[in-house]
């Protein structure tokens, strides 16, 4: 899990540190202690295996903290404060789920300053690189569970924010009354939410049907006794499923009753997949990749409901100024500000889960959304009309 410190890791302890070093080391010590507490807190709430892994990472962070204690010596009696990032991570670890916290921790480990700091050991820098991969692996499971419905939710919210803001700005630019703009926005909300929900339902259901159509049947169990031994097409089934010719012949012989065991060591993973289809009563032979596909895909109703609700929640944001009595230019400006804030939040969430910069992802979402809205507003000005 970790690396032991090199024997000369505390060579700077014999030299009186500068005030700059003392401040930096105190900050490192505080951050390491905070991160160890975060990992231990997550370990206490995690399943057994994942909890043990997180506990070992916490132990490694404590080991890093001890390195800074040794360097600080008597200067370590005065404790520094953890960074704002560490305090925010602790707050999130205590009050929210592990998925976002692990994603943030992954990013934090990837930005460790130890590789460039001469006062940190090479082993510590290597530890941090390994920690990033450990947290990436642990975060992957949570991302997989969220990916299906979360994808529908994020895309639905962003579509609602951008499309309805663009619609309202385009209509508002033509000079019509605020009531018409509001009614048009409500119509856009309902039409878009229903369309998104129906489209997501059809998309996920169709993808599931394609997966079901590709799943092998158990026809070989029912017709094997009647097959012509001299023209045995059973081997063609197994070869079509990915088996080698030799493995297919062996498997066909099993089905014909020439072997009592299901024990050909030459069978590949693809062969095991075919075998699992022929023996549905053996859960240990279930194809894990098939289970992962279904898990990542999500449910059709869940995806449809997420798309509908999140599109509607996004589409209502630019309408809020009109509900509170604003109209004309002020309503458009306030609506743009509210949508801009929402776009930064949704983009930041995607950035967190992907391990990328939340700020960059948020600004990217903002630029795309404002670009579409401003383009529509310009088109509305081009067709400017006033309703009597």
Largest CA distance in the chain: 90
Q: What is the pLDDT of residue 307?
A: 80
The Cα 309–Cα 199 span in angstroms is 13
Q: What is the pLDDT of residues 191-210, one digit of tens each?
A: 988 988 888 788 777 877 77
Question: Would you say residue 355 has pLDDT above 80?
Answer: no
Which one, of 360, 357, 359, 354, lies nearest residue 143 by Cα? 354
> In this predicted model, which residue has the larger pLDDT, 65 or 253?
65
> In this predicted model, which residue has the larger pLDDT, 118 or 253?
118
Q: What is the pLDDT of residue 4?
A: 41
Average pLDDT over residues 10-36: 80
Question: Would you say residue 73 has pLDDT above 50?
Answer: yes
* pLDDT band of 167, cuts 50, 70, 90: very high
Helices (H) and strands (E) counted in the chain, each on its own, are 15, 0
Q: What is the pLDDT of residue 185?
A: 92
Q: What is the pLDDT of residue 147?
A: 57
Ranking 76-90, 136-150, 222-236, 360-374 by mean pLDDT, the lowest is 222-236
> In this predicted model, which residue has the larger pLDDT, 293 or 26?
26
Mean pLDDT value across the chain: 76
Stated pTM of the model: 0.56
Ranking 45-49, 203-207, 230-234, 269-273 by mean pLDDT, the lowest is 269-273
Q: What contacts 24+ positions apart, CB below 8 Å, involve 36-45?
A: 36/61, 36/62, 36/65, 37/90, 38/86, 38/89, 38/90, 38/93, 38/101, 38/105, 39/105, 41/90, 41/93, 41/94, 42/93, 42/98, 42/101, 42/102, 45/98
Domain 11-143 coded CATH 3.90.1570: no
* pLDDT band of 288, cuts 50, 70, 90: very low
Q: Residue 344 to residues 103, 136, 255, 330: CA-CA distances in angstroms?
A: 18, 24, 59, 21
Average pLDDT over residues 95-111: 75
The set of residues, in sequence order, having a beta carbon less than 8 Å from that of 155 and lying 6+ positions away, is 307
Greatest mean pLDDT range, 205-214, 258-267, 312-321: 312-321
Q: What is the pLDDT of residue 11?
A: 46
**Is 281:188 a contact under the CB 8 Å cutoff?**
no
* pLDDT band of 349, cuts 50, 70, 90: confident
The Cα 313–Cα 339 span in angstroms is 11
Domain boundaries, the chain: 11-143, 146-212+299-382, 219-279
Q: What is the pLDDT of residue 264?
A: 46
């Amino acid at each position: 899990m970790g690396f032991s410190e090199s024997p000369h890791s505390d060579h700077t302890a014999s030299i009186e540190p500068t005030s700059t070093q003392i401040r930096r080391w105190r900050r490192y010590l505080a951050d390491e202690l905070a991160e160890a507490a975060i990992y231990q807190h997550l370990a206490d709430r995690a399943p057994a295996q994942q909890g043990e892994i997180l506990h070992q990472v916490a132990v490694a962070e404590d080991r890093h903290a001890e390195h800074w204690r040794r360097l600080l010596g008597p200067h370590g009696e005065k404790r520094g404060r953890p960074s704002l990032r560490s305090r925010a991570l602790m707050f999130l670890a205590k009050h929210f789920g592990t998925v976002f916290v692990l994603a943030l921790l992954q990013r934090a480990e990837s930005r460790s300053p130890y590789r460039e700091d001469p006062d940190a050991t090479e082993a510590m820098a290597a530890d941090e690189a390994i920690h990033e991969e450990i947290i990436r692996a642990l975060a992957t499971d949570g991302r997989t569970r969220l990916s299906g419905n979360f994808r529908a939710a994020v895309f639905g919210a962003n579509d609602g924010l951008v499309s309805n803001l663009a619609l309202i700005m385009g209509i508002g630019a033509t000079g019509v009354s605020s009531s018409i703009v509001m009614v048009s926005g409500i119509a856009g909300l309902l039409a878009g939410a229903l369309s998104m929900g129906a489209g997501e339902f059809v998309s996920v259901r169709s993808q599931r049907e394609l997966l079901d159509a590709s799943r092998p049947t158990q026809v070989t169990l029912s017709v094997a006794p009647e097959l012509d031994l001299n023209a045995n097409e059973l081997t063609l089934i197994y070869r079509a499923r990915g088996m080698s010719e030799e493995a297919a012949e062996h498997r066909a012989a099993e089905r014909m009753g020439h072997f009592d065991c299901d024990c050909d060591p030459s069978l590949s993973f693809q062969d095991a997949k075919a075998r699992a289809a022929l023996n549905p009563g053996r859960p240990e032979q279930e194809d894990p990749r098939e289970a992962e596909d279904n898990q990542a895909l999500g449910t059709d109703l869940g995806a449809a409901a997420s798309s509908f609700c999140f599109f509607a929640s996004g589409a209502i944001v630019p309408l809020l100024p009109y509900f509170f009595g604003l109209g004309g230019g002020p309503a458009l400006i306030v609506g743009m500000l509210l949508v801009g804030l929402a776009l930064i939040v949704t983009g930041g969430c995607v950035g967190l889960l992907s391990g990328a910069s939340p700020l960059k992802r948020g600004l990217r979402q903002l630029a795309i959304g404002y670009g579409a809205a401003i383009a529509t507003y310009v088109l509305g000005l081009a067709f400017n009309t006033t309703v009597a």
